[in-house]
Structure 1
Amino acid sequence: MPINPHSLPQPILRSIPRDQHTISRRDISPNALRVLYRLREGGFGAYLVGGAVRDLLLGLHPKDFDVATDATPEQVKQLFRNCRLIGRRFRLAHVVYGREIIEVATFRANVDDGSGDRELEDGRLVRDNVYGSIEDDAIRRDFTCNALYYAIEDFSVRDYTGGFEDVQARTMRLIGDPETRYREDPVRMLRAVRLAAKLGFSIEPATAAPIPLLASLLGEAAPARLFEEMLKLFLSGHAVASFEGLEAHGLLGAVLPETAAALRSNRSGALRRMLLQGLSNTDARVAADEPVSPAFLFALLLWPAYCRALAGLQAQGMHAEEAQRRAADRVTLHQVQTIALPKRFSLPMQEIWLLQTRFASRQRKRVFRLLTHPRFRAAYDFLVLRLAASDSHAGDVEFWKQAQQSSGDELSASLEAASAAGEAGDAPERKRRRRRRRPSAAASAE
């Protein structure tokens, strides 16, 4: 939806001088400073803006440094040979310094000037290149903490929306009327939760109040955009806080509907314990700069949904292996209608699930086949994680831990000895015992 100028407040400038804030040029990317000074020398206004200013005020180290200016993208390109213009909806300039990109955006206006540079399709803004003033640009931004501008000419911070005080108070506050701003872009609700989790901020009551009521609007967002937002929520080192934020503000059912339903029906809380343990492990890996596969992440997030679907199919009398395949397909199919989970992640995710029952086997051929499976390590790590839900898998975890540490000959000998011992133990029995069914993946998880 287009921005409604009536939903935005009037900007009121407050300039915070250098001796009243903590931002130092030493903490700013040298390349960002080059861009700022070159633009100033070219006769343009230029400011460090957004998350970088916010993070510097908090004593954090920004990953990206963005610049806002009154120069048009074409004018920026004329100043920098290492510049490329990108985007159709929002025309931007990228100034490239090796592996670092400084994004330079022109101040946007709040109203259409009739030039044709603002275009709507089915009520959605598909082109927005009507340029305006720094005041226009400030009140267009989403949260007050993101609407701060650092000026290199006097090293002050320019604040038009009260964001400086909100950063000091560690508060997330939407600029303008919250309900209207969420309706303009429902993904802002996820951004509110994500940034609050990342920064340790609280969401201001008026900003938080409409979220549960408008959560269903996320169904109108592009599934591909929601996928990217999910990766930001859960792979930025604050996965546990993000998950708890989604629960607290009524958004979990909007993005992971079947998982939310499964968690509600799991009275023991085992599935939630496992999920939170997995997200805690994810945070630890991110903190240690270790990779986390989106396939493993979604295997974790959708495992409660898979367990619930599997239990339902088996209750209908479906054979175990068929039920497992059907449950995996059903959960995936339903989820991609909300979040565009690419097949390069959904297929490995399903393999992680389907391999879980194979860890019970001790047949030599099956054991060696599973050890060489390309998804073995991810599936084993997932099995270990399931101990958070139930200790019934402890024996399997210990066996496969030893199997990975043994040589092929040692493992063969161990399996043969175990098989022989089992046969010897069964020899005196004349009457055949009825075989007990091993609990399904769904039952043991719950």
Structure 2
Amino acid sequence: MSQRLILRDNVYGSIEEDALRRDFTVNALYYCARDYSIYDFANGYPDLQQRIIRMIGEPAQRYREDPVRMLRAARFAAKLNFEIEAATAAPIHELSPLLGRIAPARLFDEALKLLQSGYGAAAYRQMQRFDLFRYLFPLTQEILDDPEWPTPILVQHVLKNTDKRLEQGKSVTPAFMFAALLWYPLYQRYLEILDEGELPPLQALHEAANQVLSAQVKATAIPRRFSAPMREIWELQLRLPRHQGKKADQLMAHPRFRAAYDLILLRESAGEDLDGLGQWWTNYQKANEVQRRDLNTETATDEQPRKRRRRRRKPSNKPHE
């Protein structure tokens, strides 16, 4: 008999019934402000002391009821720096494909909780440990598995940078995070379209963006308010190297310039050789008018980012077929 997903679980009952409906023992503790006592119905207090994430009930059954609990286990372990108890961890690899049944809109929300809450780098490590990341970013995972691309380093740098910004009280946007995490799948497809020889570079980039976004939204639904800025950030990766004359000032006035510039810096920090493009733009932003004229007399960098190994194969979206 197949296990059905739980669609609604908000039926009120006693405090003990409510506790036992929760996912993990450490999430089923209740504090009483009247007498400063803690009510523990699931043996969660010892797990809290031992820094353990333990499922309430039989783990495989609970994951089948709601596969997102696998992501929640990874998220709590990352956020609290706890260890996932062995029996709670054991079924995750086998049952992780069940995440393909979850609505993309819900997985988009889960991706933000995991990666934009201040512990994204740790959450990413937990997801890779249990092979969960591919169900949020299937195209990125495909390239993560390809040693010819520097994506693993880029992903880590993107998430560490996001964590640092949040720690400093700075704003973060899903548009930048998704644009950065999908950059290499986008760039790979861009190179393949260029190889076909039918479209000029900018149109090839637009077509690659269409295809990558179309595949990605089958995993995590990206609202248009984020996908539109993502396209602009990607387009600027081709335009920022072409900064001769007045183009530099025009590019700096673009509303997505700062995000695109930050992605250039992250790409270079991940090992890409962009002929000093990030440093050029750093210098240009700090320079006065005379210094900017001098910078614009320098030899222009290549019109396109340096190409890596080209492939004609289209990245697959296997987990969601």
TM norm. shorter chain > 0.5: yes
- What are the within-5 Å matches in structure 2 for residues 423-442 of structure 1? 440=305
Q: Does the alignment pair 1:329 with 2:210?
A: yes
1:349 aligns to what?
230
* Residue 340 of structure 1: aligned partner: 221
Asked if the contact 1:171–1:203 (Cα under 8 Å) also holds between the matched residues in 2, the reply is: yes
Quote the residue 2:283 is aligned against.
402
Q: Which residue of 2 aligns with 1:146?
A: 27
Q: Quote the residue 2:122 is aligned against.
A: 241
Offset at residue 405 of structure 1 (A) = 1.8
Q: 1:174 aligns with which of 51, 55, 65?
A: 55
* Corresponding residue for residue 84 of structure 2: 203
1:70 alignment counterpart: none
Q: Is the 8 A contact 1:306 1:327 kept in 2?
A: yes
Q: Relative to 1, partners in 2 of residues 1:444 and 1:367: Cα closer, same or farther, differing over 3 Å?
A: farther
Question: Which residue is 2:162 aligned to?
Answer: 282
Contact 2:241–2:302 (CA<8 Å) still a contact in 1? Answer: no
How far is the alpha carbon of 1:257 from its aligned partner? 0.5
Distance 1:124 1:192, change over 3 A: closer
- Deviation string, structure 1 residues 225-274 (Cα, Å, up to 9, x no partner): 21111111111111111111111101111111110001111x14622112
Does structure 1 retain, via aligned residues, the 8 Å contact 2:238–2:303?
no
> SS state of the match for residue 392, structure 1?
coil
Asked whether the 8 Å contact 2:5–2:65 carries over to 1, the reply is no
- For 2:236 and 2:79, locate their aligned partners in 1 and report how far apart those are by CA, in whole Å: 34
Q: Which amino acid counterpart does residue 160 of structure 2 have in structure 1? A: S
Structure 1 residues 332 and 245, CA, compared in 2 at 3 Å: closer, same or farther? Answer: same
Bigger fraction of residues in strand: 1
Q: 4+ residue runs of structure 1 moved beyond 6 angstroms?
A: none
Question: Do the aligned partners of 1:224 and 1:340 also contact (CA within 8 Å) in 2?
Answer: yes
Aligned mates of 1:204, 1:312 — CA distance in 2: 44
Q: Map 1:251-262 onto structure 2 (within 5 A).
A: 251-262=132-143
SS of structure 2 residue aligned to 1:400: helix
Q: Is 1:386–1:445's contact at 8 Å kept on the other side of the alignment?
A: no
Q: CA RMSD in A?
A: 2.6
Contact kept in structure 2, 1:139 and 1:161, CA below 8 Å? yes
Q: TM-score, normalised by structure 2?
A: 0.88
Secondary structure at the aligned position of 1:164 is classed as: helix
What secondary structure is seen at the aligned counterpart in 2 of 1:384? helix
Amino acid of the structure 1 residue aligned with 2:7: L
- Residue of structure 1 in register with 2:317 after alignment: none
Distance 1:337 1:391, change over 3 A: closer
Aligned residues: 308
Query: Is the CA contact (8 Å cut-off) linking 1:310 and 1:327 kept in structure 2?
Result: yes
Distance 2:276 2:302 in 1: 17
* Counterpart Cα distance in 2 of 1:437 and 1:399: 13
Which residue is 1:250 aligned to?
131
